[in-house]
């Protein structure tokens, strides 16, 4: 029985190139190379959103959506933002509500928020009851979150994670109660809804760059830089294939 599956060769090559680029970026920054990250309005607005909720005396609502579980990179990325939001809400003594559809996400979110409160210097402001599991049913979850939004009227809503059809139901309800909304997801279909219904939308890789942007951690920032290098490589590949296809229409080496 063959150990290696030859049909996965292109994926292996691309994965190894990507790992090499990420490691190169991490090593470069450790040797003192400086990287800058462009301003992301959606992430810059987190302070304003939490400040607004504090001033209005209403809670902040954070939902990771219904579509994903903890192993999805989008959920991990949303946890990074939750950490910063939890720190800010603890600092300003603002209530943070986190309803979820997945008990594993609930357990991780409780730990992340607890640590956020600890970092802010207010461990007593952590409320475990506000990070809770509702249901695994998609529209049951959407109805419950809509109900919470309608009753508590949060001044700020964060819709960051994996969303499906429930995205617009939640975003429009948030819009109806006048909340400032910051959204981000990995689904291009749901992104269109968020752009229309929310004040700020994290598009594409912006959601994944949040961790480095908010923490200013150099190692994380270096991986964001690696994303840019990889994007450049992909652009070069597409351009080469485009020119090649124009000169030799029968060629198809890039379709391996």
> Residues 193 to 252: which contact another protein by CB under 8 A?
193, 195-197, 203-209, 211, 215, 217, 219-220, 223-224, 226-227, 230-231, 234
**Geometric angle at alpha carbon 108, from 23 and 215, rounded to 5°:** 45
- Residue (156 or 223) nearer to another protein, CB: 223
Q: Which is nearer to another protein, 49 or 66 (CB)?
A: 66
Write the burial class of residue 193 (CB in 10 Å: 0-12 exposed, 13-18 middle, 19+ buried): buried
Residue 133 binds to another protein (criterion: CB under 8 A) = yes
Binders of another protein: how many residues, by CB under 8 A?
83
Closest CA to 157 of 6, 53, 38, 14: 53
Quick one: which of 49, 60, 77, 180 contacts another protein (CB under 8 A)?
77
Q: Which stretch binds another protein (CB under 8 A): 36-44, 47-55, 141-149, 246-254?
A: 141-149
Residue from 18, 24, 48, 51 in contact with another protein (CB under 8 A): 18
Told to check if 123 binds another protein by CB under 8 A, we report no
Nearest to another protein of 43, 186 (CB atom): 186
Residue 41 touches another protein, criterion: CB under 8 A = no
Of residues 37, 95, 244, 245, which one binds another protein by CB under 8 A? 95
Is 122 a residue that touches another protein (CB under 8 A)? no
- Sign of the Cα torsion 186, 192, 197, 200 reads positive
DSSP string, 69-102: -TTSHHHHHHHHHHHHHHHHHHHHT--EEEEES-
CA distance 60 to 120: 17
- Using CB under 8 A, pick the residue from 64, 159, 163, 186 that binds another protein: 186
Name all contacts of 232-237 with Cβ < 8 Å and 24+ positions apart.
Answer: 233/17, 233/21
Is residue 28 near another protein by the rule CB under 8 A?
A: no
Q: Does residue 244 contact residue 235 with C-beta atoms inside 8 Å?
A: no
119 belongs to the binding site for another protein (CB under 8 A): yes
For 33, half-sphere exposure in the C-beta direction (CA atoms, 13 angstrom radius) is 12
């Amino acid at each position: 029985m063959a150990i290696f599956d030859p049909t996965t060769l292109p994926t292996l090559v691309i994965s190894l190139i990507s790992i090499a680029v990420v490691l190169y970026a991490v090593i470069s920054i450790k040797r003192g190379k400086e990287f800058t990250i462009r301003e992301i309005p959606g992430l810059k607005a987190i302070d304003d959103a939490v400040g607004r909720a504090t001033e209005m005396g209403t809670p902040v609502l954070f939902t990771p959506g219904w579509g994903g579980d903890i192993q999805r990179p989008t959920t991990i990325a949303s946890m990074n933002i939750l950490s910063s939001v939890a720190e800010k809400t603890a600092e300003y003594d603002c209530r943070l509500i986190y309803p979820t559809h997945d008990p594993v996400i609930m357990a991780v979110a409780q730990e992340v928020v607890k640590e956020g409160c600890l970092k802010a210097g207010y461990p007593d402001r952590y409320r475990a009851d506000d990070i809770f599991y509702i249901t695994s049913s998609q529209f049951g979850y959407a109805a419950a979150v809509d109900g919470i939004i309608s009753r508590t009227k949060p001044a700020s809503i964060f819709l960051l994670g994996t969303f499906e059809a429930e995205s617009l139901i939640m975003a429009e309800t948030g819009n109806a109660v006048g909340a400032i909304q910051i959204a981000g997801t990995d689904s291009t279909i749901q992104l269109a809804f968020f752009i229309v219904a929310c004040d700020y939308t994290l598009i594409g890789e912006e959601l994944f760059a949040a961790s480095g942007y908010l923490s200013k951690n150099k190692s994380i920032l270096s991986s964001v830089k690696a994303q840019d290098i990889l994007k450049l490589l992909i652009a070069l590949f597409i351009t080469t294939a485009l020119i090649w296809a124009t000169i030799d229409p029968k060629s198809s080496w890039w379709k391996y």
